[in-house]
Amino acid sequence: MQRLLNQVADAVQGVRAGQSLNELLARCPAELRPGTQALSFHVLRHLGGAEAVRKLLAPKAPPAKVDALLLSALALLWPVAEPAYADHTVVDQAVSAMRKRSGQSAGFLNAVLRRFLREREALVAQAGRDPAAAFNHPAWWLKRLQADWPEQWQAILAANNRQPPMSLRVHAGRGSAEDYLKRLAEAGLAGRALGPRATQAVVLDRPAPVSQLPGFAQGDVSVQDVAAQLAAPLLLADRAGLPPLPAKPRLLDACSAPGGKTSHLLELSPAAELLALDADADRLARVKDNLARLSQQAELKAADGRQTEAWWDGRPFDAILLDAPCSASGIVRRHPDVRWLRRAGDIAQLAAIQSELLDALWPLLKPGGRLVYATCSVFRAEGQDQVDAFLQRHPDARAVPVDGFTGHLLPLADNEDQPGGPSTIDGFFYALLTKQP
């Protein structure tokens, strides 16, 4: 376990220095990666509390390398219903790990952890007076949520700290969700179909490696959150009052990586001429891999969607999906590092990029065409406020409300009217915009 703890501490140290957990896990030895990810997720979900307690026990912060392991151990000792390890195991292995990490600090770590165990109840209660520790989110994040969602902010934060379900999208051309449930049962896996809005969605009772999913390698199923599965049908389905799309529509997926929504568009419209764009060439490679697994074809270009002169051939699009760069504040339960990586000033900067993308892509849309604007954010600045401002700037744009699809979708257990039912969706925002002929 000591090797694992040092890997976790490296990950926590990297996140606190501003590095993405995904990038850090990629450097982890393959045999330790699953365990490192699981424990890192736990630590990051309790990091606010661990930091507050460490300040009580050791007001002068130790060196970053030492602090990361100390915080990891404190988070693993945090009182939870089902701890990953017994208390004595965490202390013993953390001290052993520290001897290899920074030998002179092993005694210090041992003393702090043992004091925490002796006074745990009182220390946790004292730390909980700090909202950032009580909710395990930065103070600025709490204030923004309180302003945006005064009735739901605590429930959103609680949802962020729970483990997410594993959701699948059954290939629309290769069977129904009900058919795939039978294949799962034969493989010893259980789940449930969601419908009616997310008709191809299946939520597993327990997460499973993709190697255990029947037909995954052949493209029969993909891993995709239920909320993300709403993008393609929202863009492509016939809607009252909207001109129908051509039989072979010209589509743009403007920020396509990693390709889940790209492949879903092609599942629902196999004859489409689709351009998948992304500013990050490395991430665009993941789109290529996803399409290859599903035996799909699209044109891929690494380019900034705002710089249309560099990539657009002048032919307008029938429909555009803009899944814009955002804070990822709606998918914190899947990416618990996000809350610690973001800064308060990031939201205005991201909103400016979103606005620039909308303005740049709108002229590329045919009259009568449609654009779906999406973000995996619960912040209004990246959702409804963004769309309201866009409509003010573009008199030829009209928002088309679609019940259960458009607006802010919140990851709340009591939102049974949302697609997928209780606790099955991440936080998302969708708007369907049409260009007046």
Distances in Å between the Cα of 400 and the Cα atoms of 434, 435, 437 are 7, 11, 15
Nearest to 410 by CA among 159, 135, 134: 159
Of 311, 342, 312, 315, which Cα lies nearest the Cα of 326?
A: 342
Cβ atoms of 219 and 295 within 8 Å: the answer is: yes
Q: Would you call the peptide bond into 422 cis, given omega within 30 degrees of 0 as the criterion?
A: no
Go through the chain and tell me how many residues it has: 437
| Residues annotated catalytic, as ranges | 376
Single-letter code of the amino acid located at 76: L
Q: What is the DSSP string of 2-50?
A: HHHHHHHHHHHHHHHTT--HHHHHHTS-GGGHHHHHHHHHHHHHTHHHH
> Per-residue DSSP letters for 252-269?
EETT-TT-HHHHHHHHH-
d(CA 303, CA 300) in angstroms, rounded, equals 9
- Cα(72)–Cα(41) distance, integer angstroms: 10
Instruction: Return the number of other C-beta atoms located less than 10 Å from residue 23's C-beta.
Output: 12
The dihedral built from the CA positions of residue 306, 308, 310 and 311, taken in this order, carries a sign that is: positive
Cα–Cα distance measured from residue 107 to residue 112, given in angstroms and rounded to the nearest whole number: 9
Rounded Cα–Cα distance for residues 171 and 151 (Å): 38
What does the block give as tokens for 211?
């190697």
Of residues 429, 320, 339, 417, the one with CA closest to residue 381 = 429
Residues 6+ apart with CB under 8 A from 256: 262, 276, 277, 278, 284, 287, 300, 323
